[in-house]
């Protein structure tokens, strides 16, 4: 899986790259829950008719230099087997805590799920379907892979079990850049993996690229984009690199910011010219090839299995444990595989969302999508006006030219004037320039409480 840093400053303090908001609140705002609530209570009264099922496989064949995700490398076969045993125990306990769950979408992420061999993947699918009572062939299912592990036998298992979207982290088609990003892989190996993926016949291919790598130029960026486009991927993610190079541009944060912003703009233009639509700062998609899993993983009603997985109800986000440092991750996985079934019946760490945090979460996750926030949907959900709840913040964004009002499709044209005032417009959305600054806008909208918790976590 491709990562970006989240919550830490990796450019100039007021620059465009403050943190990737892939979830709000970020996991570093989670704290031990005292007392630990039973999952049965946590899920009581929650809608369970259209849940998102997420499985986390925390293993990778190597550690990418830019990665800050919960994963470990070089896991021996016995550990993988023990992990699947634990996943099975956890699935039983979690299923017992849910009242008649129905799963509408699913994703398997990591880590690299295809670190598991074909037999292990089959076991993972079997236990998930049998215990959770879900037919994964009947729902959109997204799985992450890597060039080295996307072998024909593994891909055959994924395709046979109903995978609709496969996501692969390529990062760069230039071998020297891949090495610089500490993901040593050759273009030939990547191309062969993409060929096998296309042969397996998945509905959607998602390809991740990274910009801001040491030595990367406008020209080499264009080269990678064109190499990616040859495969006509249904989705392309463009990730800014968040680990500052030690040489060249990395010496001055401002220069690196400018460099990344320039590559973002040219990458965006190139993909738009090639017929892609922009879904968020990072995500571009061929029209008509929507993936249901992308937006869902930010929504409420997510059931996570695996030791790094988060779960979301409307009022509590929780996980088994949290860590990013390699040594801690190993310890947590070793503990996880030894847990007794009853241990899985409790939420360990998490964050409770009150009404204000729920509104803020809705605001952040909507605004960071190119489609923006539907003003009437917000009103219907919360019974208040977004322009009153967040007036000051919205005005500041509008003043910088980052936010505009727009009519919903088929609606009346947007009102002239400020985005943060009045009630006439149908959508609030980031301008093209605002989208470019998503990684500053998102963290800028965090609540004071979340900010404090994240800062205290990072200071440890």
Q: Does 110 bind ligand SF4 (CB under 6 A)?
A: yes
**Which residue in 15, 101, 169, 233 binds ligand SF4 (CB under 6 A)?**
169
Q: Does 2 bind ligand SF4 (CB under 6 A)?
A: yes
Q: Does 167 bind ligand SF4 (CB under 6 A)?
A: no
Q: Does 109 bind ligand SF4 (CB under 6 A)?
A: no
Let me know the angle formed at the C-alpha of 199 by 197 and 203, rounded to the nearest 5 degrees.
65
* Residue of closest CB approach to ligand SF4: 67
Task: Determine the distance from the C-alpha atom of residue 234 to the mean position of all C-alpha atoms in its chain, rounded to a whole number.
Answer: 17
C-beta of 2: minimal distance to ligand SF4 in Å?
Answer: 6
Q: Does 171 bind ligand SF4 (CB under 6 A)?
A: no
Comparing C-alpha atoms, which of 183, 154, 182, 151 is closest to residue 170?
Answer: 183
Dist. CA 191–CA 31, nearest whole Å: 43
Q: Are 1 and 109 in contact (CB under 8 A)?
A: yes
Q: Does 146 bind ligand SF4 (CB under 6 A)?
A: yes
Which range touches ligand SF4 (CB under 6 A), out of 9-17, 95-103, 109-117, 432-440? 109-117
**Which residue in 16, 19, 111, 212 binds ligand SF4 (CB under 6 A)?**
111
Question: Across the chain, how many H-helices and E-strands are there?
Answer: 17, 18
**Which residue in 5, 6, 28, 71 binds ligand SF4 (CB under 6 A)?**
71
The three-class DSSP label of residue 92 is helix
Distance (Å) of CA 49 to CA 91, 261, 280, 296, 301 = 18, 42, 28, 14, 9
C-beta of 20: minimal distance to ligand SF4 in Å?
Answer: 12
- Identify which of residues 2 and 291 has a Cβ nearer to ligand SF4 in the complex: 2
Q: Does 112 bind ligand SF4 (CB under 6 A)?
A: yes
C-beta of 323: minimal distance to ligand SF4 in Å?
Answer: 14
Dist. CA 380–CA 384, nearest whole Å: 8
Dihedral of CA 146/151/155/157: which sign? negative
Q: Does 128 bind ligand SF4 (CB under 6 A)?
A: no
Q: Are 249 and 256 in contact (CB under 8 A)?
A: yes
Sites for ligand SF4 among residues 347-376 (CB under 6 A)? none
C-beta of 236: minimal distance to ligand SF4 in Å?
Answer: 17
- Identify which of residues 172 and 387 has a Cβ nearer to ligand SF4 in the complex: 172
Which range touches ligand SF4 (CB under 6 A), out of 62-70, 260-268, 360-368, 396-404? 62-70
Sites for ligand SF4 among residues 206-225 (CB under 6 A)? none
Q: Does 1 bind ligand SF4 (CB under 6 A)?
A: yes
C-beta of 36: minimal distance to ligand SF4 in Å?
Answer: 28
Sequence-ordered list of residues with C-beta below 8 angstroms from that of 196, at least 6 positions apart, any chain? 150, 151, 152, 155
| DSSP states along 227-276 | HHHTT--SEEEEEE--S--SSGGGGSHHHHHHHHHHHHHHHHHHHHHTT-
C-beta of 284: minimal distance to ligand SF4 in Å?
Answer: 20
Chain residues in the site for ligand SF4 (CB under 6 A): 1-3, 60, 63-64, 67, 69, 71, 110-112, 146, 169
């Amino acid at each position: 899986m491709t990562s970006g840093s989240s919550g830490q400053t990796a450019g100039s303090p007021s620059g465009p790259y403050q943190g990737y908001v892939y979830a709000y609140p970020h996991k570093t705002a989670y704290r031990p829950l005292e007392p630990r609530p039973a999952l049965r209570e946590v899920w009581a009264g929650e809608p369970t008719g259209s849940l998102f099922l997420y499985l986390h496989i925390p293993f990778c064949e190597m550690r990418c230099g830019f990665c800050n995700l919960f994963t470990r490398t070089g896991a021996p076969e016995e550990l993988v087997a023990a992990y699947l045993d634990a996943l099975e125990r956890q699935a039983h306990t979690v299923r017992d805590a849910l009242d008649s769950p129905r799963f509408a979408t699913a994703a398997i992420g990591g880590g690299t799920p295809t670190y598991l061999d074909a037999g292990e993947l089959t076991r993972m699918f079997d236990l998930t379907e049998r215990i959770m009572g879900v037919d994964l062939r009947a729902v959109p299912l997204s799985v992450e892979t890597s060039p080295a592990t996307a072998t024909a036998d593994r891909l055959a298992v994924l395709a046979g079990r109903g995978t609709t979207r496969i996501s692969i982290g390529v990062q760069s088609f230039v071998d020297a850049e891949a090495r610089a990003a500490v993901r040593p892989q050759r273009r030939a190996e990547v191309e062969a993996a993409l060929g096998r993926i296309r042969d397996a016949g998945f509905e959607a291919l998602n390809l991740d690229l990274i910009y801001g790598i040491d030595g990367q130029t406008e020209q080499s960026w264009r080269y990678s984009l064109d190499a990616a486009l040859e495969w006509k991927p249904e989705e392309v993610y463009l990730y800014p690199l968040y680990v500052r190079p030690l040489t060249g541009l990395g010496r001055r944060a401002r220069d690196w910011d400018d460099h990344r912003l320039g590559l973002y703009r040219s990458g965006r233009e190139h993909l738009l010219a090639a017929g892609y639509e922009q879904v968020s700062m990072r995500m571009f998609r061929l029209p008509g090839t929507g993936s249901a899993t992308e937006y869902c993983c930010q929504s409420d009603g997510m059931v996570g299995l695996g030791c790094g997985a988060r779960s979301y109800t409307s009022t509590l986000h929780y996980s088994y444990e949290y860590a990013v440092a390699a040594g801690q991750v190993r310890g947590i996985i070793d503990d996880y595989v030894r847990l007794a079934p009853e241990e899985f019946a409790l939420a360990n760490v998490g964050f409770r969302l009150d009404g204000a945090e729920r509104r803020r979460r809705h605001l952040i996750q909507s605004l960071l999508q190119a489609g923006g926030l539907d003003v009437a949907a917000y009103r219907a959900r919360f019974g208040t006006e977004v322009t009153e709840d967040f007036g000051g913040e919205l005005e500041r964004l509008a003043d910088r030219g980052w936010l505009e009002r727009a009519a919903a499709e088929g609606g009346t044209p947007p009102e002239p004037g400020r985005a943060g005032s009045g009630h006439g417009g149908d959508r609030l959305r980031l301008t093209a320039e605002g989208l470019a600054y998503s990684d500053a806008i998102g963290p800028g909208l965090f609540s004071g409480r979340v900010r404090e918790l994240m800062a205290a976590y990072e200071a440890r």
